Homo-oligomer: A and B are copies of this chain.
Amino acid sequence: MLGWLRRRRIRARGVTRPVRSEAVEATRVELAELAPGPQAYLGQLAYLTLVLFENLGRGAAVSPTVSGKSRLGRVAAEVLEIHEAVLAELDSRRFDPAESMEPHRALLDDFQRRTMGDDWHEILMTCYLSSGFLLDFFAGLAAGLPGGLSDRISALLSDDEAEDLLVAELRDALDDNARLASRLAMWGRRLVGDMMLVARSALDIESRSDGEERVEPVFTELIAAHTRRMDALGLTA
């Protein structure tokens, strides 16, 4: 009976899952003012998509079902499409892709190690929450890029079909499994700090005297979007 109720609540909530463009709209003004230059932005986003790809590969390798593997494959294909497009943007500006990614390597490798997850469900949560949080964030940050580039990157990051696949996979697992739900709620809370650290590292806070002030509403909105993402699974953030 309770299980049925919970399931219904999860399904109903699913409809209100935030769309990427909504989640970032509120913070576009603040983000635009804190955006780094094109090379730093593109370099970090390119390396981030490699990290997400590796996490998805690791998830696929431990998936208990063939369909889970295949879903993660589809998400990885989307993430790699973003990666290729970002490399092309670097290339067209005559920035060397590898050189542009290098400065972001240590921090993102560290992020990857800390948020790795121990099993299929934790890896899946990491894939869902970190791609949601960080690609949302980079979509918002794109507001501070030069005109044409800003539009192309925003369009590239606006498709969150991949997120739907991860939500579907997680919902299947969470259905009627209260113990897993509480474990994943904990895991979700643990990830927030690490994701914020990555987001913060991408911002140009120091060069403005009111940097800290401006960054506040951005993080408030990112956490609100994270809460909605947890909500979509019926989990407490």
Contacts and interface: CB of A to CB of B under 8 A. Distances in A.
B98 A76 contact: no
A117 interface: no
Nearest to A71: B98
Interface string A46-75: 110110011011101100011101100110
A156 to B, nearest CB: 15
Q: Is the interface of A mostly helix, strand, loop or mixed?
A: helix
A70 to B, nearest CB: 6
Interface in A24-57: 46-47, 49-50, 53-54, 56-57
A101 interface: yes
Contact of A58 (B57, B66, B77, B101): B57
Interface stretch (A79-87, A131-139, A185-193): A79-87
Q: How many copies does the complex hold?
A: 2
A91 B90 CA distance: 37
A18 interface: no
A87 B67 CA distance: 11
11 contacts: A50-B69, A54-B58, A54-B69, A57-B76, A58-B61, A61-B112, A65-B98, A66-B105, A70-B98, A73-B83, A74-B80
A102 interface: yes
Top 5 A-B residue pairs of the complex, sorted by shortest distance between their CB atoms:
A57-B57, A67-B98, A77-B80, A54-B61, A66-B98
A211 interface: no
Nearest to A57: B57
Nearest to A105: B66
